[in-house]
Structures are given as C-alpha cells and as structure tokens.
C-alpha cells in the first residue's frame, strides 16, 4: 500500500493521451541557459542537451522540462528571439530521437510557447501565471495543451522585493483561483498548479507554503512542487546548491506526504527512488 494516494480522477490530456496521477510523476529539468543557479552552462550545446535529455528519460522521468530563460533571482533578461533560438532546435531533436517523450517548455512568453509547441513540446510551464504576457492564456487556449500555472509577483529581476503577505498560502491560493477562472472562461481544461517556491517569497514563506501545500487540493487540480536544490534549502543548511541533494529529497518527501502529484527535479534517479519507496 502506498503511504498516500493521489486522486485517480485527476489527469491531463496530452494530445489524446491521458497522463494520470495514481502515482506521482517526475519532471526532469533541462536548462539550456548559461546562468541558471545550479547547472547553468552545462547544456547550452545540442550534443550535451540531448545527452542530458536521454539521461532524464533513462532515469525514469515522465516529463522533460526545458528552460531557455533563467528565472533565478536577478537573472539577466534575454529577448524572445534568443529564447526561441535556444529552445526550438533542442525540442526538435528530442522529438526526432525520442518521439514518445513528454516535453514541457518553461517560458512566460506566448510567442516562445507557441514556437516550442509547434516544434513538439506538449505542455506550457509559465512561471508568471500569465502576468508577464497578456497573450499567454489565449495562446494556451488556441494550442489546446496543458498549462502549468505558477504563482509569482513581479519579474525574475524584481520578485524578491515583493514578499509582503498577510498569509502567503491564502494569497497564493487567491491568485491561483483568479487565474483558473480566467483560463476556464477561455476553455482551458488541463491546468496544473505550482505554488512557486522561491518566487517572490522569503525562506520562511516558502516553508509555510510547503507545509500547507495540501490546502491547494481545494481546486481539484494536479499540483507540482519545484524545490530542487533551491536557496530555501541551501541557505537553511548554510551550504550550496551542489551540496543539498539530501535536503532536496527530504523536502520532496514532505511534498509527497501532502499529495503533490509532480516533482520537478534536477536529480531524477533519486526522485524516482523516493517515489518507488512510497509504493512498497
């Protein structure tokens, strides 16, 4: 028996194929950026990116999450054309070599999202929850792909100045509820919620949101947790991002205990072992 049970009624439609959540799913991170906080610069070339995609799949990930724009605090912005130039060739090559792979594109820009879906991406993962591009929701509706709706305030450059909340969990839930309603009005059905750990939140607020993430089940939608190697872990442990795999696993365990259905991780093998042990 599993230690917890996700809702078998929840699923997302991937172009006619249903992804269900009887077991939690694993999303492996493929950063194409030179300046991401943990693995920036490792996968900027086609060969290294495809090797990383193969590793992610071989280690048991259900989704490859491709990002071509660094959203770490204070990251240097790039234009949409450069973001597309980084992402589209990698997506096209992954689709050629691994046609069954499920790919999400991590972008807040509608033009980038559309170009990547045309290239073969299956899911749009928007860290801004539609706040940074007014055309994003309409684009998602037109493309008819699942949408990961994340909470954030401001931009990657300003978000850590915007951490004033009376109750971070309630305010994140209110934001998500408003955006869900807007998406529903446009006919978008396949929505995944992401509370946005590390985005416009203090360390303490991140932990409040982690310990109460189960409250977001109110919406009846799958929840994604992305805490892998983030500063909420390594600053608490007075360490660095490359030294906190154990801390990441500990917090992923807390997420699973609270019914989170998707873990977004750098370390796929370890996350897969964690999920497997929940279903002994």
Identify whether 144 is a catalytic site residue.
no
Whether 142 is a known active-site residue: answer no
Give residue-wise pLDDT tens across range 241-263.
999 999 999 999 999 999 999 99
Q: Which of 72, 86, 201, 230 is catalytic?
A: 230
User: Which of 72, 109, 179, 264 is an active site residue?
Assistant: 264
In a domain, 98, yes or no: yes
CA distances from 245 to 52, 171, 229, 268, 273 (A): 18, 30, 7, 11, 13
Q: Does 118 have pLDDT greater than 50?
A: yes
DSSP 242: G
Domain count within the chain: 1
Residue 194 sits in which domain range? Answer: 12-279
CB 188 within 8 A of CB 142: no
Q: Do the domain assignments include residue 36?
A: yes
d(C-alpha 77, C-alpha 13), whole Å: 32
Asked if residue 100 is part of any domain, the answer here is yes
State pLDDT tens for residues 265-279: 999 999 999 999 987
The pTM assigned to this predicted structure is 0.93
Q: What is the CATH number of the domain that holds 84?
A: 3.20.20.20
Q: Which two tokens stand for residue 189?
A: 């059905």
Other CB atoms within 10 Å distance of the CB of residue 222: 27
Task: Write the pLDDT tens digit of every residue in 69-111.
Answer: 988 766 678 999 999 999 999 999 999 999 999 999 999 999 9
* 201 within some domain: yes
Kindly state whether residue 2 falls inside one of the protein's structural domains.
no
């Amino acid at each position: 028996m599993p230690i917890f049970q996700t809702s078998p009624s929840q699923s997302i439609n991937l172009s006619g194929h249903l992804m269900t959540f009887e077991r939690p799913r694993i999303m492996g991170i493929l950063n194409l950026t030179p300046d991401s906080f943990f693995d920036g610069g490792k996968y900027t070339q086609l060969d290294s990116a495809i090797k990383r995609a193969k590793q992610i799949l071989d280690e048991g990930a259900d989704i490859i999450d491709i990002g071509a724009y660094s959203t770490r605090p204070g990251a240097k912005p790039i234009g949409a054309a450069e973001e597309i130039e980084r992402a589209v060739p990698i997506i096209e090559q992954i689709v050629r070599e691994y046609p069954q792979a499920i790919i999400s594109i991590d972008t807040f820009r509608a033009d980038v999202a559309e170009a990547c879906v045309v290239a073969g991406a299956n899911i749009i993962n928007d860290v801004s929850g539609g706040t940074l591009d007014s055309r994003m929701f309409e684009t998602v509706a037109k493309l008819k792909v699942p949408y990961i709706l994340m909470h954030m305030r401001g931009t990657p450059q300003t978000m850590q100045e915007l951490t004033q909340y009376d109750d971070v969990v309630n305010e994140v839930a209110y934001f998500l509820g408003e955006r869900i309603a807007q998406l529903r009005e446009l006919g978008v059905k396949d929505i995944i919620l992401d509370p946005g750990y590390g985005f416009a939140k203090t360390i303490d607020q991140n932990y409040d949101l982690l310990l109460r993430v189960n409250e977001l089940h109110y919406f009846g939608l799958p929840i994604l947790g992305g805490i892998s190697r983030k500063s909420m872990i390594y600053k608490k442990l007075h360490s660095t991002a490359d030294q906190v795999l154990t801390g990441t696993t500990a917090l992923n365990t807390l997420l699973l205990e609270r019914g989170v259905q998707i873990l977004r991780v750098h370390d796929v093998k370890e996350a897969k072992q964690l999920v497997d042990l929940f279903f002994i």
